[in-house]
Structure 1
Amino acid sequence: MSSTQGRMADRVAVVTGVGSGIGQGVALRYAAEGAAVVAVDIDLGSAETTAARSAEAGAPFASVLRCDLTDPSDVRRLTGEIDRAHGRVDTLVNAGAIQPHMGPVWEMDYESAFRPTIVGEVDLVFLLCQAAWPLLRASGRGAVINFASVNSFRGSRHMGMVAHTAGKGAILAMSRQLAIEGGPDNIRVNTIAPGLVQTDATKAAGATDGDLASTIVARTLLGRLGVPEDVAQCALWLGSDESSWVTGANVPIDGGVTAA
């Protein structure tokens, strides 16, 4: 599909965490729909692998950039490069995150577990939103997508996740405030709250098989775990002009877990 066709045609889309999982799924979908995708990951090798996959499908990315999204100076460097290349950001998808530390409150060390989880789930979203804000304003139709979670709304009886729930709850609240602040400049900010999606990270946490996965599947209304493509379809709508009157919203993509 050429850059003049598709639901994301003529949009500059910055997607973080493209090396795997949801970020990868969104970047591939955006490129297939005509976006100029600026693909970002801390692991440049994995990002380039995703870029090669997209190019083989006939939808090359605009660029592939490495960035440590927890480093303010590196984030400013990243947005400077994007500014010089494109002069604007039409869609920003903050899919990148650091694997959260799991555990109950009485076992969680503040310095080595709780604080790194908050930095890896909240701080990096704030830093890129802040640095990219002038470029979103320059677009005149900026769209930001952040990732909350079903755990923004409910805890877990099966896994200690006090830091993770705090982080994802913060993303939900922060995004609503960003939507308020972005309204005068036609910058829309929305969240997607996925349920358990099968990614390398969730597999590494042991959440996609065994008793835990069976328990979660049983709680869904649709009887299966999610895949990145499920989330990418929603991100396509929220990141395009099709959702031009949608801001401050949260969309649960969870197989019905939060409805039951």
Structure 2
Amino acid sequence: MTVDVPPKRYPEMTDKVALVTGGSTGIGLATAQAFAREGATVIIASRNEKRGKQALSTLMDSGCGSWVECDVTDGREVENLISSILKGYGRIDYAFNNAGSGGKMSPVANMTEDAWSKTINGYLTSVFLCMRHQLPAMLKAGRGVIVNNSSVDGLRGYPLLGGAPYSAAKHEVLGLTRSAALEHAKDGIRITAICPGWVGTPPVENFIRKNAQIGAQIIGQEPISRLGTTDEVANGVLWLCSDAASFMLGSPLVLDGGYMA
């Protein structure tokens, strides 16, 4: 019996090399799977080997990529990640800088310097480090697309108590994205960002299960009356990387169910 394979939306991605940081779960995993469906070779970078290899096994073709251990807040590890990709595959065509982590949430007046630093390093410095090492490889090739994961909270203040450093980091991801995009606008490299609203990732779903009142508040912030799906965000990332978005530069794509409308 033959199995119908859906046509590729972006045939130009076949045999290209796509890096997804934080690709073992949530938005990152959905994006890695989406790249694989388009025929790209996918490199998943994350910190947990078990989850990383489980994620790799879900890709459409087990031979279409690899998992690399990397803490994206460590510049040396990021440098090694990019070096290993270039050594193994010779190129990086697409990079989705998605990985992020933070410190304990608390109001600004009570926040520790350590919690602030962990959040800024986890969500902002990590993006800088990835771009710092991705860009030379793309500049050498004269082509490439970088998509950074920001947030609607990079466009407004965080709506719940304790999220100020996260919002600050996500605002700065957009500033970094726009500035770097202008720096390389004539180099054949496109740099942009995506700003998801509330998405049903494992952490968000766990958070809602633990606190029904806050869960209702979160859903209430979405005019569409539901969370976004990881596949919906992944579809946006792939469009940004595709030739269909060739005039998209610097500005973010907002996928928020009407949150910012």
Question: TM-score, normalized by length of structure 2?
Answer: 0.91
1:152 CA drift (Å): 1.1
The residue that corresponds to 1:69 in the other structure is: 72
The residue that corresponds to 1:177 in the other structure is: 179
- What amino acid is the match of 2:22? G
The residue that corresponds to 2:42 in the other structure is: 37
- What amino acid is the match of 2:77? D
1:221 CA drift (Å): 2.3
Question: Match of 1:185, SS?
Answer: coil
Q: Contact between 1:150 and 1:252, CA under 8 Å: does it hold in 2?
A: yes
Q: Contact between 2:102 and 2:118, CA under 8 Å: does it hold in 1?
A: no
Q: Contact between 2:53 and 2:67, CA under 8 Å: does it hold in 1?
A: yes
Which deviates more, 230-239 or 95-104? 95-104
The yes-or-no answer on 1:85 pairing with 2:88 is yes
Q: Structure 2: 5+ residue runs without aligned partners?
A: none
Which deviates more, 88-97 or 58-67? 58-67
The yes-or-no answer on 1:231 pairing with 2:233 is yes
For the residues of structure 2 that align with 1:199 and 1:229, how far apart are their CA atoms? 10
The residue that corresponds to 1:98 in the other structure is: 101
**Equivalent residue runs for 1:162-173 within 5 Å:** 162-173=164-175
The residue that corresponds to 2:255 in the other structure is: 253
Q: Contact between 1:226 and 1:254, CA under 8 Å: does it hold in 2?
A: yes
Instruction: Mark the CA change 1:207 to 1:132 in structure 2 (over 3 Å): closer, same or farther.
Output: farther
The residue that corresponds to 2:29 in the other structure is: 24
Q: Structure 1: 5+ residue runs without aligned partners?
A: none
Which deviations, in whole Å up to 9, do the C-alpha atoms of 1:71-119 show, x marking residues without a partner?
Answer: 11111111111111222211000011114532110111012x0000000
Q: Contact between 2:152 and 2:196, CA under 8 Å: does it hold in 1?
A: yes
Give the root-mean-square deviation of aligned CA atoms: 2.1
Aligned length: 255
The residue that corresponds to 1:153 in the other structure is: 155
Which deviations, in whole Å up to 9, do the C-alpha atoms of 1:28-86 show, x marking residues without a partner?
Answer: 111011111111111121111011111xx446432111111111111111111111122
Question: Match of 2:68, SS?
Answer: strand
Which residue, 114, 117, 122 being the options, matches 2:116?
114
Question: TM-score, normalized by length of structure 1?
Answer: 0.91
Give aligned-pair identity as a percent.
31
For the residues of structure 2 that align with 1:217 and 1:199, how far apart are their CA atoms? 14
The residue that corresponds to 2:131 in the other structure is: 129
Q: Contact between 1:103 and 1:159, CA under 8 Å: does it hold in 2?
A: yes
- What amino acid is the match of 1:95? N
For the residues of structure 2 that align with 1:185 and 1:231, how far apart are their CA atoms? 27
Instruction: Mark the CA change 1:158 to 1:39 in structure 2 (over 3 Å): closer, same or farther.
Output: closer
For the residues of structure 2 that align with 1:96 and 1:157, how far apart are their CA atoms? 22
Runs of 4+ in 1 over 6 A off after TM superposition: none
Instruction: Mark the CA change 1:139 to 1:31 in structure 2 (over 3 Å): closer, same or farther.
Output: farther
Instruction: Mark the CA change 1:100 to 1:190 in structure 2 (over 3 Å): closer, same or farther.
Output: farther
- What amino acid is the match of 2:137? L
- What amino acid is the match of 1:43? N
The residue that corresponds to 2:58 in the other structure is: 53
1:240 CA drift (Å): 1.7
Question: Match of 2:148, SS?
Answer: strand
- What amino acid is the match of 2:46? D
For the residues of structure 1 that align with 2:136 and 2:159, how far apart are their CA atoms? 42
